[in-house]
């Protein structure tokens, strides 16, 4: 049997564990019933922000990259002062006459803007039309500057910028991390002040391990979001085309020439199709002609024989 004091200590510890877990669960529901003023202020400020920035944007054009009204740190400020967490990305497609030396220029440009190359590929051989691709990460503060510099490395074919608002997930994870940290601190305090029996210590450590595992998972997600917000993603595709001529708006004479060329091409295609059809039918015409001649000859002979018999009977 256990002494009465030990039993009371053990019951006290076992009673505190569910209360600590319940407090942690109730604080995780910060979006429904936030227990803290700062979480409530963050949520209300986010909901009061303009809705135009909440939806993903996709601004594409041929010829340049539009301004996106960014602020430093990857966050657009709202009317309430709450910084939005925006994930920016861009796609740039260029054409050059000679790809030699271009990869090094891209790497140098990325370094000049404090970025790094996340992925790169190159296909084709020297003397043939080659193609290269880079996915680079650029600090959001230098995003627009880098895009404007990158499009000057060749003839711009297309460029587009898109953005995604990650504010809701970012602040939700931030609040959960804050609550889990407090729950971890309470468990550590409980473990230090009332160690109790070995079974009680093991139970507290088990709960502490679970809380820390969830906390580490949330912190990992927060690191990913912070990386996506602070560093933009730019995809660059450069194609090598010898004697490349950029497309121009067609003139009136060009439109007439294209119409005439199209009509002649259609006439040529029709004539070729008719000739091919005639060649395909010729064997059938020959077989049909022979068969028709044989049938005609047989009918004439039969008719002549019939007339001869009729004349004899008459």
Please list the rounded mean pLDDT of every run of 10 residues in the chain (314 residues): 46 51 46 41 46 42 41 46 86 91 93 94 79 94 94 92 92 93 90 76 88 94 92 94 68 84 91 91 88 90 86 78
Identify the sign of the CA torsion 18, 20, 26, 29: negative
pLDDT at 56: 43
CA distance 290 to 287: 5
pLDDT at 114: 94
**Contact of 127 with 100, CB cutoff 8 Å:** no
pLDDT at 92: 95
**DSSP reduced 3-state for 208:** helix
In sequence order, what are the residues at sequence separation of 6 or more whose Cβ sits closer than 8 angstroms to the Cβ of residue 247?
none
Of 165, 138, 142, which is closest to residue 82 (Cα–Cα)?
Answer: 165
Q: What confidence tens digit (pLDDT) does each residue in 9-55 have?
A: 555 445 555 554 544 544 443 343 343 444 444 444 444 444 433 34
- How many residues make up the chain in this entry? 314
CA distance 185 to 202: 17
Q: pTM of whole model > 0.75?
A: no
Of 144, 119, 147, which is closest to residue 133 (Cα–Cα)?
Answer: 119
Radius of gyration of the chain from its Cα atoms, rounded to whole angstroms: 40
pLDDT at 116: 95
pLDDT at 255: 82
In this structure, what token pair is assigned to residue 30?
Answer: 């910060």
**Contact of 231 with 136, CB cutoff 8 Å:** no
**Contact of 103 with 122, CB cutoff 8 Å:** yes
**Contact of 179 with 21, CB cutoff 8 Å:** no
CA-to-CA separations, 203 to 192, 198, 199, in angstroms, rounded? 14, 9, 6
Q: How many CA atoms lie within 13 A of 314 on its CB side?
A: 6
Q: What confidence tens digit (pLDDT) does each residue in 86-115 have?
A: 999 999 999 998 888 999 999 999 999 999
CA-to-CA separations, 280 to 268, 273, 277, in angstroms, rounded? 18, 11, 5
Q: How many CA atoms lie within 13 A of 208 on its CB side?
A: 15
CA distance 124 to 240: 10
**DSSP reduced 3-state for 119:** strand
**Contact of 241 with 95, CB cutoff 8 Å:** yes
Task: Return the domain boundaries, the chain.
Answer: 4-45+177-217
């Amino acid at each position: 049997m256990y002494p009465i004091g030990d039993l009371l200590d053990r019951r006290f510890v076992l009673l505190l564990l569910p209360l600590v877990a319940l407090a942690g669960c109730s604080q995780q529901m910060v979006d429904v019933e936030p227990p803290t003023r700062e979480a409530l202020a963050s949520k209300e400020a986010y909901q009061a922000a303009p809705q135009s920035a909440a939806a993903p944007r996709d601004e594409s054009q041929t010829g340049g990259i539009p301004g996106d009204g960014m602020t430093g740190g990857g966050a657009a400020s709202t009317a309430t002062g709450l910084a939005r967490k925006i994930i920016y990305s861009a796609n740039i497609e260029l054409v050059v006459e000679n790809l030699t030396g271009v990869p090094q220029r891209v790497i140098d440009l990325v370094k000049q803007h404090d970025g790094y190359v996340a992925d790169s590929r190159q296909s084709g051989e020297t003397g043939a039309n080659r193609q290269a691709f880079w996915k680079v990460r650029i600090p959001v503060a230098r995003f627009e500057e880098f895009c404007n510099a990158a499009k000057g490395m060749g003839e711009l074919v297309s460029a587009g910028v898109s953005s995604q608002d990650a504010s809701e997930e970012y602040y939700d994870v931030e609040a959960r991390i804050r609550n889990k940290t407090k729950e971890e601190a309470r468990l550590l305090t409980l473990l230090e002040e009332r160690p109790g029996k070995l079974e009680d210590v093991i139970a507290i450590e088990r709960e502490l391990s679970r809380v820390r595992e969830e906390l580490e998972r949330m912190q990992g997600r927060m690191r990913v979001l912070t990386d996506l917000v602070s560093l933009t993603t730019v995809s660059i595709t450069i194609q090598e085309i010898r004697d490349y001529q950029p497309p121009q708006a067609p003139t009136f004479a060009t439109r007439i020439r294209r119409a005439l060329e199209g009509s002649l091409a259609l006439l040529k295609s029709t004539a070729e199709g008719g000739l091919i059809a005639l060649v395909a039918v010729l064997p059938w015409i020959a077989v049909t002609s022979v068969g028709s001649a044989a049938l005609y000859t047989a009918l004439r002979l039969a008719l002549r024989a019939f007339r001869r018999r009729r004349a004899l009977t008459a």
